[in-house]
Amino acid sequence: MSQVTEVRGSEAVQASPATDDGPADPGPGSSLRVLAGRTIRHPTIGPVVAAALLYGVFAWEGRQYGFLTEQGTASWLNVSAELAVLAMPYTLLMIAGEFDLSIGSTVGATSMVLAIGVSHYHWSVGLAIAVSLILGVVIGLCNGLLVVKTKLPSFVATIGTNFVIAGAALGLSRTLVNTSQMSVYVHGFAHSLFAGQWKSLDVAIVWALVVTALVGWLMIKTRYGNWIYAVGGNVESARRAGVPTDWLKVGLFVLTSLGAVVVALIQTIEYNTGNATAGQGFLFQTPIVVVVGGILVSGGYGSPVGVIFGCIIYGIVSLGIFYAGWNTDWAAAFLGGLMVIAVITNNYVRRLALSSGRPTDRARGKP
């Protein structure tokens, strides 16, 4: 990456030269216009505004039915947090220009590993969790290697592994315990770690904050953040600049699978049930919140901060419709419409950013 650093350094020096009389004062009006332009072009502004507007709508519509109460607020926060645990690593994968459509099956498979291991084979909880995490790593490695070695589009490759994992989880569960759903009871530290509560707030909120902090640190404080944006922007250019593109993608697939495992552990321990078919909803929910959060489907652009607001939007809509007394059958249509609007808006904002942004900011999607 030394070559990339030198290029960026040279770009940073290429500022407009000052005249002998010094830089002209743009005046307060011009400064406000510049600030407004930068704000509009920022990839997080869309999801932030959308989250605020939707919260206002459902707060008004559901004010008499408990949306603004502690229980109502906790309900959509818990949903948002659980989704964020998976959406944050998925964000890195999508910025790098890839998809993982096997996440739903990974949740179901590792859920049954925990349940069967503890309830049927009487493993310790620690061992069952370790085996679940190892399975997640293996699934991520298989997905990543399949994509980079065969050059298949990740959309095609992981939809195939999705069916393989789902079928294997269902078949093995029926073979071993004659059911695809099994009760499991976890107590002690493991229960507090994955299913603890404070008042009405789930410990998933803490997991979401930790995962978000780690992703933010990775993207801002390490060279891998630049690499991820570079790979999503132009993989061939990134490879010529010395970025280990293949291993970077494999690593991101592994992180995404591990996010799915953590969600599986949270759900299984919280609801005392392992289910081989659990988690299929994440196959659609996760890409929706990532796109609504400002990440381009083509990769190379967006901010993880926006995805947090994408998760908040999902939580507000999915629970807000219930509290507002609306027909919940419309929830999917509502979220689908938001995704279409987000895709159009994200592409428009990116064009604005590329047309007037600084060269050093373009790879990050900054104005």
Tens of pLDDT along 43-84?
A: 677 788 888 888 998 899 888 888 899 999 999 999 999 999
The domains found in the chain, sorted by start residue, are 44-362 (1.10.3470)
Percent of the chain with pLDDT over 90: 57
Q: CA-to-CA distance for 229 and 327, rounded, in angstroms?
A: 40
Q: CA-to-CA distance for 322 and 310, rounded, in angstroms?
A: 19
pTM as predicted: 0.83
3-state secondary structure (DSSP) of residue 302: coil
Q: Which long-range contacts (CB under 8 A, 24 or more apart) does 222-229 make?
A: 223/1, 224/248, 226/1, 226/4, 226/363, 227/1, 228/92, 228/95, 228/96, 228/252, 229/95, 229/300, 229/301, 229/363, 229/364, 229/365
Query: 182, 276 in Cβ contact below 8 A?
Result: no
Q: CA-to-CA distance for 135 and 8, rounded, in angstroms?
A: 40
Query: 276, 169 in Cβ contact below 8 A?
Result: yes
Q: CA-to-CA distance for 288 and 303, rounded, in angstroms?
A: 15
Q: Give tens-digit pLDDT for 228-255.
A: 999 998 999 999 999 999 999 999 999 9
Q: 46 is written with which tokens? A: 């869309």
Q: How many Cβ atoms sit within 10 Å of the Cβ of residue 346?
A: 25
Is pLDDT above 70 for 161?
yes
CA dihedral 18, 24, 27, 30 (to 10 degrees): -50
Q: CA-to-CA distance for 51 and 79, rounded, in angstroms?
A: 15
Q: 205 is written with which tokens? A: 């909120």
pLDDT-derived band at 349 (thresholds 50, 70, 90) equals low
Place of tokens 């190379």: 300
Q: 102 is written with which tokens? A: 């096997």
Q: CA-to-CA distance for 151 and 65, rounded, in angstroms?
A: 52
Kindly give, in sequence order, each residue whose CB lies less than 8 Å from that of residue 152, ignoring residues fewer than 6 positions away: 146
Please compute the mean of the pLDDT values over residues 29-37 and round it to a whole number.
50
Is pLDDT above 90 for 325?
no
- Write the DSSP symbol of residue 118: I
Query: 190, 269 in Cβ contact below 8 A?
Result: yes
Q: Among 44, 41, 56, 100, which residue's Cα sits nearest to residue 308?
A: 44
* Rg of the chain taking only CA atoms, in angstroms: 22
Is pLDDT above 80 for 323?
yes
Is pLDDT above 80 for 270?
yes
Instruction: Tell me what pLDDT residue 359 has.
Output: 40
